[in-house]
Chain A
Amino acid sequence: MALYPLIYGIRASFHAYRYGRDVGSAGFKNYDAVLHDHTFWTALGTTAKYVAFAVSIETLLGLGLALLVVNQLRFSRFIRVGLILPMTVAPVVVGVIWRLMYASDIGVVNPLFSSLGLGSPNVLANPGSAFIGVVAVDVWEWTPLLFLIILAGLQSLPQEPLEAARVDGAGPVRVFFDHTLPLLRPVLMVAVVLRLIDAVGTFDQIFVLTKGGPGTATQLISTYSYNTAFLFTQYGRAMAMVVALMVLVLLLTIAAIRFMRTAAMRTSS
């Protein structure tokens, strides 16, 4: 079930499709077309930018929140439930929520900005702000994932080395960088790699929020290949695009399996 679509997809990337019908082998023509397609490179660049910004912000925020919550026993349960809700709902619903927040006529973001004297940006209508807008939505939706995994990691850390360092007179900052962070590394890696892999495939929210626009400001490989396949029925070309992307993701996957193994061993021992 896993391998059949994969093999089919790779095969399709070497076939030509006319009006959605397979008309025989095309050799490397699809790949050639993709590599000479200016929009593909733009979309690849946007995807890389999107993933880099979103994942790094989410990691820092998630780590910060986890550190704030980890020793806060009183409300930690309530806070946890509250903080994880954004990632539980369907990405489509996340898109709807932020359409309602960003809308220039009925939203909240515009009035909020103008009350702070920052003008009223029509977030999703301008290329620059639309990109920031969709990254912000990703951060809102997925910081909880990093937060939760890192929190679990922090709670399972052995306490003795940390105690020993404290007894030796190390301040909280020293303890964090010299002891907590290295111990946390495997779990942190699992979280970041998982998020990275998912972020590369982001589609739903973009589809609902901007459909890749305005212009190509928020066009990711996922939305571009979706359009190529289902708007222009160029299945072969769409698949060539995604296979190229997949090679990148595959490298991430190998790293993911490695890190997950080490993390599994550390947390279980």
Chain B
Amino acid sequence: MTGARARAYARIAALGLALVVALFPFWWMLVTSFKQPVDIFRGVSLLPQHPTNDNYSRLFSNYHMGSFLMNSLIVVTVAVAVSLVLGTLAAYALARFRLRFGLNESALVAALLVRTLPPILLVVPIYLTLSKTGLLNTRLGLIIVYAGLNTSFVIWMMQSFLEEIPRDIEEAAMVDGDSRLRALWRVVLPLAGPGLAATAIFSVITTYNDFLLALTVTSTPSAQTVPVGVSTLIGKIQIEWGPMAAAGVVGALPIMIFAVVVQRHFVRGLTMGAVK
């Protein structure tokens, strides 16, 4: 019995250590963001000696954090909404019909391809295309690109959710006189609700977190998103640690909340439906 007990303690100790390693760096960023400049340089202190929200107010007044947040909000909302509509319709078609020429298979493979290409490969062509069409450094340019890229993710996810819904249900609705689209809207989508929500939140997380693409196709605070804004704080000759930590907190917080909400569906989202 003592052996089992010792093993139980060892297990708790190991998990505790893992949790500390995973979470402490967040705490350090949070603490630094509330410290005054002098205190930041005064050695390791796990609590701010003289708490201040100075870093945050400077972040918004001097470093354009307000417009970064606004850009992210607009771009992410519109792009995700568009890709959800397009992707869900495509996924429904793939889940319910056998298309000719093995199109089902190739559509899914093409969608997976986007996920597996090195991002830098997509970025250069996208940059060159946007510069030709005058969409560089605009929110519209970002929206179009993100909507397009995210649609393939929605297709994979929604296909795996829609396949779990029995056909009989919508067929019954169609016998009752609904058109297929109406049956999809009235019967299927409510059943796929949790899956749709998880897909939406996942899309929000990946779109909001994207850096490389936004870095290359935007250049001023009028279109730059939060991650790009955060990185501009580092580029300066002298690093402003306080505002940088505050920017990190602002950049991380909305996403962490979303992530906790969808954690039940996390595995499915990460493996594009392969593991449930």
List residues of chain A with CB under 8 Å of any chain B CB.
1-6, 8-9, 12, 65, 68-69, 72, 75, 79-86, 88-93, 95-101, 103, 105-106, 108, 111, 140, 144-145, 148-149, 151-153, 156, 187, 190-191, 194, 197, 200-201, 203-204, 207-208, 221-222, 225-226, 229-230, 235, 238-239, 242-243, 245-246, 249-250, 252-253, 256-257, 260, 263-264, 267-268
Contacts and interface: CB of A to CB of B under 8 A. Distances in A.
Nearest to B249: A93
A79 B11 CA distance: 12
A242 B118 contact: yes
Interface string B214-231: 011000000000111011
Nearest to A207: B231
Nearest to A11: B125
A190 B271 contact: yes
A82 B113 CA distance: 31
B32 A197 contact: no
Nearest to B228: A92
Given A69-B15, A92-B227, A246-B121, A100 B255 contact: no
B47 interface: no
B216 A230 contact: yes
Nearest to B149: A1
A187 B275 contact: yes
B66 to A, nearest CB: 18
B128 interface: yes
B118 A9 contact: no
Given A12-B125, A204-B211, 7 more contacts: A2-B111, A2-B152, A12-B124, A90-B230, A99-B234, A226-B216, A268-B276
Interface residues of B, number: 80
A12 B231 contact: no
B116 interface: yes
A1 B79 CA distance: 14
A1 B152 CA distance: 9
B251 A264 contact: no
Nearest to A67: B11
Given A68-B11, A90-B209, A242-B120, A96 B275 contact: no
Given A93-B230, A264-B274, A68 B21 contact: no
Q: Which 8 A-B pairs have CB atoms at the shortest separation, nearest pair first?
A: A1-B148, A88-B259, A90-B209, A8-B125, A5-B125, A96-B248, A201-B118, A260-B274
B6 interface: no
Given A8-B125, A98-B25, A84 B266 contact: yes
